[in-house]
Amino acid sequence: NAGVMQNPRHLVRRRGQEARLRCSPMKGHSHVYWYRQLPEEGLKFMVYLQKENIIDESGMPKERFSAEFPKEGPSILRIQQVVRGDSAAYFCASSPGTGVYNSPLHFGNGTRLTVT
């Protein structure tokens, strides 16, 4: 029973490049959350998606960041024109979606983005 899979595990990008982070939720899960964690800090909510829908993107920076969760395939967090301040660990979590408040989140092990 595969858990939440994130890849790549580590990603190095130069300033100005694009970063694409992938998240495959657990089988049967239709809800995906993305969080960002700066070194020595807590997790900051970024975006909550269902298949083909963005439910809440209140935590996403308004520029350069976008997320999608297509009908087929993994969820993608895309960061355009990366800057050093984007260096962080990005975690994806999934849930089955039924009884949102009552369903625990299952997290991946994250993608650690380093911008040089």
Contact residues: other proteins, CB under 8 A? 4, 33, 35, 41-45, 48, 55-56, 58, 91, 93, 100-102, 104-110
Give the pair of three-digit tokens for residue 23.
């998240």
Nearer to other proteins among residue 40 and residue 72 (C-beta): 40
Structure-token match 């997790």, residue found: 43
Ramachandran region, residue 40 (left: φ > 0; alpha: ψ -120 to 50; beta: rest): left
What is the nearest approach in angstroms of other proteins to the Cβ of residue 16?
28
104 phi/psi in degrees, rounded to 5: -70, 155
Tell me the C-alpha distance between 32 and 69, whole Å.
8
What is the nearest approach in angstroms of other proteins to the Cβ of residue 62?
18
Nearer to other proteins among residue 1 and residue 58 (C-beta): 58
**Collapsing DSSP states into helix, strand and coil, what is residue 101?**
helix
What is the nearest approach in angstroms of other proteins to the Cβ of residue 65?
17
Task: For the chain, state the CA radius of gyration.
Answer: 13
Nearer to other proteins among residue 18 and residue 41 (C-beta): 41
Nearer to other proteins among residue 34 and residue 115 (C-beta): 34
What is the nearest approach in angstroms of other proteins to the Cβ of residue 33?
7
